[in-house]
Copies of this chain bind each other. A is one copy, B any other.
Amino acid sequence: MDGIDVLVSEVGPRDGLQSIAPTLPLAAKKAWIDAAVAAGIREIEVGSFVPAHILPQLADTADVVAHARTHPALHVAVLVPNAKGAEAALAAGAHKITLPLSASETHSLKNLRRTHAQVFDEVARIVDLIRALPADRRPTFEGAVSTAFGCTLEGEVPESTVVALAEKLMALGCDEVGLSDTTGYANPAQVKRLVRAVHAAIGADHMTGLHLHNTRGLGLANVLAGLDVGITTFDASLGGLGGCPFAPGASGNIVTEDLVFMLEAMGLRTGIDLNRLIACRAILSAALPGESLYGFTPDAGLPLGFRAAA
């Protein structure tokens, strides 16, 4: 796999910050984005357009998007729960809009308070909103199938359910589909099976990204499995922010620093300078003194003589 380009999508400003109680000040969010871009990060999920009373930590997402857009090469992504959020995302000028759809309908009802049919209606509305824009202002629209590898409420999620949802999302007009291991249930064999099944159904070009958690320690093994079946985009969170691997219920995003170390050590190009990436942690440490940062590689240090992928 030498020399393959892999896109590491930093989701800490959304998934990390929504999982902690304190709000990172806007200035620190901007500083984080600037430092991440300087380290070579090419895509950042900078926030979520949800009502401020639900996630006050992300209430300034429009301002964060505006700042992120000042970096010309950065792909600025946001999460939206519905068409109303998508309207705000389009107004702000996000380059990518992701709408989560839980494969487990029980989880969907509990988390988004919507049935699958109701989420499909939102997807259709968002597609209409996007298509009403001039072609050069249309963002990429991703339907993200969450709890795709299992659900804490329903247990096993049939692969046929995930495949059918991916097909439906594409039929409704999404540009691409992502799979999320929301619960940290995924294992490498399952990752390969499910990715292959979804690729067979909607085409490999329409499912290139995985959002994996490290809840049971298998995050990077699952990345490796994804690489083996053609996945080229992986979400990760700087310092594993917001996800304590040693606390039940933790979100547990895979740690960006460990992911980049593995990829670069394997000879896969991320375009990211690992030392500069690790230096970004200081921004979070300073602005969020009560939060723990994780990561084996930052703590152990880089191997003697370590060379990034050429």
Which A positions have Cβ atoms within 8 angstroms of B?
1-2, 150-156, 183-185, 187-190, 214-218, 220-221, 223-225, 245-248, 250, 252, 255, 258, 261-262, 265-267, 295-297, 299-301, 303-305
Q: Which residue of B lies closest to A187 (CB)?
A: B265
Q: Judging by beta carbons under 8 Å apart, are A296 and B216 in contact?
A: yes
User: Bound state CA distance, A155 and B297, in angstroms?
Assistant: 16
Chain B residues closer than 8 Å to A154, beta-carbon distance: 304
Given A151-B304, A216-B300, 13 other A-B contacts at CB below 8 A? A2-B189, A150-B303, A150-B305, A154-B304, A184-B300, A185-B303, A187-B266, A189-B265, A189-B267, A217-B262, A220-B221, A224-B225, A248-B300
Chain B residues closer than 8 Å to A258, beta-carbon distance: 216-218
User: Bound state CA distance, A185 and B300, in angstroms?
Assistant: 10
Q: Judging by beta carbons under 8 Å apart, are B150 and A248 in contact?
A: no
Whether A301 contacts B248 in the complex (CB less than 8 A), given A220-B218, A221-B220, A258-B217, comes out as yes
Whether A247 contacts B189 in the complex (CB less than 8 A), given A221-B223, A305-B156, comes out as no
Q: Judging by beta carbons under 8 Å apart, are A261 and B297 in contact?
A: no
Shortest C-beta distance, A310 to chain B (Å), equals: 13
Q: Judging by beta carbons under 8 Å apart, are A215 and B296 in contact?
A: yes
Q: Judging by beta carbons under 8 Å apart, are B221 and A300 in contact?
A: no
User: Bound state CA distance, A252 and B247, in angstroms?
Assistant: 20
Whether A245 contacts B305 in the complex (CB less than 8 A), given A265-B190, A266-B187, comes out as no
Q: Judging by beta carbons under 8 Å apart, are B247 and A150 in contact?
A: no
Chain A: interface secondary structure?
A: loop
A-B interface, 8 closest residue pairs, ranked by CB to CB distance from nearest:
A155-B305, A217-B296, A187-B265, A189-B266, A155-B304, A217-B258, A220-B221, A185-B303
Q: Which residue of B lies closest to A297 (CB)?
A: B216
Whether A217 contacts B220 in the complex (CB less than 8 A), given A185-B303, A262-B188, A266-B187, comes out as yes
Whether A299 contacts B189 in the complex (CB less than 8 A), given A155-B304, A255-B217, A305-B156, comes out as no
Chain B residues closer than 8 Å to A303, beta-carbon distance: 150, 155, 183, 185, 216
User: Bound state CA distance, A246 and B252, in angstroms?
Assistant: 16
User: Bound state CA distance, A174 and B214, in angstroms?
Assistant: 39
Whether A300 contacts B215 in the complex (CB less than 8 A), given A189-B266, A262-B188, A305-B156, comes out as yes
Whether A262 contacts B218 in the complex (CB less than 8 A), given A248-B301, A301-B248, comes out as yes
Chain B residues closer than 8 Å to A305, beta-carbon distance: 150, 155-156
Shortest C-beta distance, A42 to chain B (Å), equals: 22
Shortest C-beta distance, A217 to chain B (Å), equals: 3
Chain B residues closer than 8 Å to A153, beta-carbon distance: 304
Shortest C-beta distance, A156 to chain B (Å), equals: 5
Shortest C-beta distance, A275 to chain B (Å), equals: 14
Among A2, A155, A216, residue most surrounded by chain B Cβ atoms (within 10 Å): A216
Whether A261 contacts B304 in the complex (CB less than 8 A), given A187-B266, A246-B299, comes out as no
